[in-house]
Chain A
Amino acid sequence: MTAYRPRAIVIGASAGALEALTVILPSLPSDFRAPIIIVVHIPSDKRSVLAELFRAKCRIQVIDVEDKEPLKPATAYFAPPDYHLLVEDTETLGLTYEEPVLFSRPSIDVLFESAADVYGSDVTAILLTGANQDGAKGLVAVAEAGGQVIVQDPETAFAAAMPEAGLRLCPNAEVLSLDGICAYLRRIG
């Protein structure tokens, strides 16, 4: 059996995102193969410091997305505040300013659904800590397209509501601790 090698990783996180991503992203090697596309809920009037913050800690590249950003390996892409982030095609990210979804812009559902459309079974979606329901529907879309879905163990999450909502809609998702997620990524990347 050939090992599962997704063409991209999509990650969604809300409350507690910073701590969770601080475990995951710096653990990735500089030759990590797949692009990692990330939506974190941040207040719309804030300038995002996420990319700046992680750039110093990571061996992979870290980028604040602008419209039509080309996708490259070994790179983490952060959605800017107040825009939805979508995968346009296998090589390009796009932004839109459509209405918030579940009060969120960027929306994890929007990212995950677009990734499922573009990559089909070749994407892994990871839903982390958070205090709302965003991302659950997106997980279902990825799972239905044949991609792998992972939910942070709610027991270990800073805020359990989001991973719990994910598991309710997508009960077959793999449940992993942050260390488990790191190990998974090193295995597939």
Chain B
Amino acid sequence: MDAPVIETFEKVEDIEIRLLLEALYVRYHYDFRNYAMGSVKRRLRQACEQMGFATISALQEKILHDETMLPRLLGYLTVQVSEMFRDPSYFRAIREKVVPHLKTYSSLKIWIAGCSCGEEVYSLAILFREEGLEDRTIFYATDINQDALQAAEAGVYNLDRVQLFTENHRKSGGRSSLSDYYKAGYGRVSFDRSLRERVVFSDHSLVTDAVFGEMQLISCRNVMIYFDRTLQDRAVGLFKDSLARKGFLGIGAKENLRFSAHADGFKEFVREEKIYQRVGL
């Protein structure tokens, strides 16, 4: 007798992905279950191909039994692509429109959520120094990827990226020369230690962790694009609860709060730069 065929609309690969993400959560408490599927699928295929696994199930077996594989897989699942002063017009808007408000506070808490390798942390630290706000500010730089956090804390970047960083900084309305803030050598640049004196680097997940302070500005750009709608709602809710009255939230140039369940908690502050202000407190 033939084995009964179970009718299913879920493709085998989709089942494998669901199971792998469940395994990652149960075994290591990394929760990618509500990440945007299209991009997770691409990156898991990439991981399998480059790590030499024929199927995602094979990858799952390895990852469950060998925890040394975890950082490598996380490297695929979390996208670490950024640049300093990326979208210079965003930083210009922070400088020209947001900073005047921030200047009215005697102490400031700024959260860079999903800070990756730190490019945006150093960008904001430099901007705040240029605008005379650095001394009254604490920056919280958070990410779920330990390797990225370590890179962020080190503040070392390849020399070939510096031309772009410099150009971006200039376009952002920079009042100093970027070269004032780093030392070059051996094909790398190392950013000045003093820039991170006011920065707390910390492991924090927008998926599973909670509010940890009351912020005047949260910058979270091109992080939530990797989340599905449900998870985006959670993250935006977390930002809403973390912002002080009239606090600011900056998101990526192609992100939008209009699709969010918490859209009511914010008003557009600089519409074209996706800078929002908390309302209704």
Contact = CB atoms under 8 A, between A and B. Distances in A.
Interface of A: 65-70, 80, 83-84, 86-89, 92, 94-99, 110, 113-114, 117-118
A69 B259 CA distance: 8
Given A65-B254, A97-B225, A98-B43, A89 B37 contact: yes
B175 interface: no
Max chain A CB contacts within 10 Å: which of B38, B42, B225? B38
28 contacts: A65-B254, A67-B252, A67-B254, A67-B256, A68-B232, A69-B259, A70-B259, A83-B254, A86-B36, A86-B38, A88-B37, A94-B36, A95-B225, A96-B36, A96-B38, A96-B39, A96-B79, A97-B79, A97-B222, A97-B225, A99-B81, A113-B42, A114-B38, A114-B41, A114-B42, A117-B38, A117-B41, A118-B38
A95 B221 CA distance: 12
B228 interface: yes
Nearest to B221: A97
A92 B42 contact: no
A65 B253 CA distance: 11
Contacts of A95: 225, 254
B83 to A, nearest CB: 10
A38 B42 CA distance: 19
A83 to B, nearest CB: 6
Name A's interface SS.
Answer: mixed
Interface residues of B, number: 22
A97 B37 CA distance: 15
Contacts of B91: none
B167 to A, nearest CB: 10
B249 interface: no
Given A68-B232, A110-B42, A117-B41, A94 B225 contact: yes
A73 B42 CA distance: 26
B223 to A, nearest CB: 10
Contact of B79 (A69, A86, A98, A114): A98
B-side binding surface: helix, strand, loop or mixed? helix
B157 to A, nearest CB: 17
B226 interface: yes
Contacts of A114: 38, 41-42
Contacts of B39: 84, 86, 94, 96, 98
Nearest to B167: A45
Contacts of B225: 67, 83, 94-97
A118 B37 CA distance: 10
Contact of B254 (A80, A87, A92, A110): A80
Given A97-B79, A117-B38, A66 B228 contact: no
A75 B156 CA distance: 45
Given A70-B259, A114-B41, 12 more contacts: A67-B256, A86-B36, A88-B38, A89-B37, A94-B36, A96-B39, A97-B79, A97-B222, A97-B225, A98-B42, A98-B43, A98-B79
Given A96-B226, A117-B38, A117-B41, A68 B81 contact: no
A15 to B, nearest CB: 24
Interface string B26-50: 0000000000111101110000000
B113 interface: no
B255 interface: yes
